[in-house]
Structure 1
Amino acid sequence: MTATTINDAEVAKFTAMAEEWWNPNGKFKPIHKFNPVRLAYIREHALAHFGRDGSLLRPLEGLTILDVGCGGGLLCEPLSRLGATVTGIDAAERNIAIARLHAEQSGVAVDYHATTSEALAAEGKTFDIVLNMEVVEHVDNVPLYMKSCADLVKPGGLMLTATLNRTARAYALAIVGAEYVLGWLPRGTHDWKKFLTPDEIKTLLKRNGLKVTGETGVVYHPLADEWRKSRDMGVNYMVMAERPAA
């Protein structure tokens, strides 16, 4: 049997919510709120790393980007508009169907596939930038998943991992607060035991030949109703890594 990272229960959970992906006030409202800070971080590091001119309308022209666990395509579409050649993959076929339909209606070119990172890596595919955004806490066999994502990064390319820290504060805010008190997310969206610490993520990145080049926490500011970068990595955080050029 071929090893897999698919957690069937997690796939079913997100399949059931697939129609909600592009509703900014629906079940994925927190992701819509989170998107600007994620997109800005990707753009900032891509421009610096690949020496691109941020004043251009399509500064990521010519770069290939893979979004692993892309859901409905909330990151894929804006990155395509910035000029990148974007591929989005997701284990849930319903998510891919929704993403394809929305991209077609929006006139945005994104190459979507219902597949996994390990399947794509087995095909020998590689990309300039691999996005591993809020996915690692939903998969089985985390070491295999992180290896497959790392294998998809070209020499000289980048991988961004975003996830939740395994802290008491993350449990209180991301699960008790977000799911049970505020109702931002459906109950059962997250399992605290599957959260990974920044050190665990960085160890997996280094084990698979990547060099960590940046990290940041992300915190919610209720008065501004927006997420911002922060030194505080106690709940949400992002780690940028590079595969050294050959």
Structure 2
Amino acid sequence: MSSLSLSRFTPTACRLAARSSRRAAPILYRHPNSSPSFRHHTTHSTPTSANSSVDPNEVSHFNALASSWWDPHGPSRLLHLMNPLRHDFISRCRASTASSSPPIRYLDIGCGGGIFAESAARLPTTASVTAIDPTPEVLRVAEAHKRRDPALMAPNKLTYLNKSIEELPVPSSPAEGYDVVSVFEVLEHVSAPGPFLERVMQQVRPGGWLVLSTIARTWTSWMVTNVVAEDVLGIVPKGTHEWSKYVNEGELKEWFGRQKGWGGGVGEMRVMGVVYVPGLGWKEVPGGEGWGNYFFGVRRDEV
């Protein structure tokens, strides 16, 4: 899911962004009875329940975009173009450590219409892909598109579930977790990233990777995503993102660094800054994680 919000680059918009910046920092907090975690973002919406990371406003927004999900020139065009870099980043993560050999079991969280899930299911190294999303209309589109390809209809090859991460059963043992758990363009849509990631981490097997993509919370990212991409170029739908929900790469590294059993060795936390270049697509930009879109991967330590 990729796009953004706010109105025009005016003094009023700048004041709104400044207030968002003040609300968004600091991103971390320490609960009296818990380990350090991401704070709950201040938003204007309310999750569906106290135990859910799903924001009903986000569900409504992406339901409205469901019919155009597989239009390569439509609102989801940037996601189609991002797929090659997603696979490249996962390959780099797995190659950097002594991960087990294929076949690979994927869990794709917040899969939307299945742009990444379908492409992962077609790889010769893939054993299975389970893809979940809380947005029913979008999943109906994903399921219909899957049925166009008989290869994807093999048992357990690609399974879509209309569930949030809180509704997905936790593996009965760590070894039954997934080799790769992907969370692409999702973190900036949840109100409490710490509790959300804690749920996600339970699905990764020892030696497996959690990989995600999101956006740094900087003035540059606000200008690029909220002003240029939405208002000037019109390449993303309005209202898709809330700038105050963006998460900085340093915050992720600090948070995961405190999670026992995660990213404990050299090369077991990886990052790739990326930028969209009109006419050329998504390109890797060293250092881009400090101001814009980026990929982040962290490996669960071996038992």
The size of the alignment, in residue pairs, is 237
Alpha-carbon separation, structure 1, partners of 2:64 and 2:235: 16
Q: Tell me, in whole angstroms, the C-alpha distance in 2 between the residues paired with 1:199 and 1:45.
A: 18
TM score, norm. by length of structure 1: 0.90
Task: Determine if contact 2:206/2:302 at 8 Å carries over to the other structure.
Answer: yes
**CA deviation digits over 1:152-174, x for unaligned, max 9?**
11111101121000000000001
Q: Deviations over 1:90-112 (max 9, x none)?
A: 01011211111111112223111
Residue matched to 1:179: 230
1:215 aligns with 2:271: yes
Contact 1:150 1:208 in 2 (8 A): no
2-structure distance, mates of 1:101, 1:186: 23
Aligned to 1:101: 144
| 207 and 3 in structure 1: CA distance in 2 versus 1, 3 angstrom threshold | farther
CA distance in structure 1 between the aligned counterparts of 2:212 and 2:169, rounded to whole angstroms: 17
Contact 1:147 1:208 survives alignment (8 Å): no
The one of the two structures with greater contact order (alpha-carbon pairs below 8 A, sep at least 6) is 2
- Contact kept, 8 Å, 2:171 with 2:203, in 1: the verdict is no
Percent of residue pairs bearing the same amino acid type: 30
Matched, 1:119 2:167: yes
Which deviates more from structure 2 when the two are superposed, residues 42-51 or residues 101-110?
A: 42-51
Q: Aligned equivalents of 2:193 and 2:81: distance in 1? A: 27
Greater CA deviation, 160-169 or 211-220?
A: 211-220
Could you list the per-position Cα deviations for residues 164-203 of structure 1 after superposition, in whole angstroms to 9, with x for gaps in the alignment? 0000000000111111111111111111000010112223
Pick the aligned partner of 1:78 from 98, 115, 119: 119
Residues 198/26 of structure 1: CA separation in 2 closer, same or farther (3 Å cut): same
Please identify runs of 4+ aligned residues in structure 1 that moved more than 6 A. Answer: none
Q: Secondary structure in 2 aligned to 1:185?
A: coil
CA distance, structure 1, for counterparts of residue 277 and residue 187 of structure 2: 25
Tell me whether 1:241 sits opposite 2:292 in the alignment.
no
1:11 to partner: Cα distance: 0.9
**Is contact 2:170-2:202 (8 Å) kept?**
no
Q: 1:205 to 1:119 in 2, by over 3 A?
A: farther
Q: CA deviation at 1:239?
A: 1.0
Of 18, 23, 27, the residue aligned with 2:71 is: 23
Residue correspondence of structure 1 range 154-193 to structure 2 within 5 A? 154-193=205-244
1:35 and 1:148 map into 2 onto residues whose CA distance is 25
Q: Structure 2 regions of 5+ residues with no counterpart?
A: 1-48
Q: Which runs of 5+ in 1 are unaligned?
A: 53-59
Q: Partner residue of 1:65?
A: 106
Look at both structures and tell me which one has the larger radius of gyration over its CA atoms: 2
Q: Return the letter of the residue paired with 2:273.
A: G
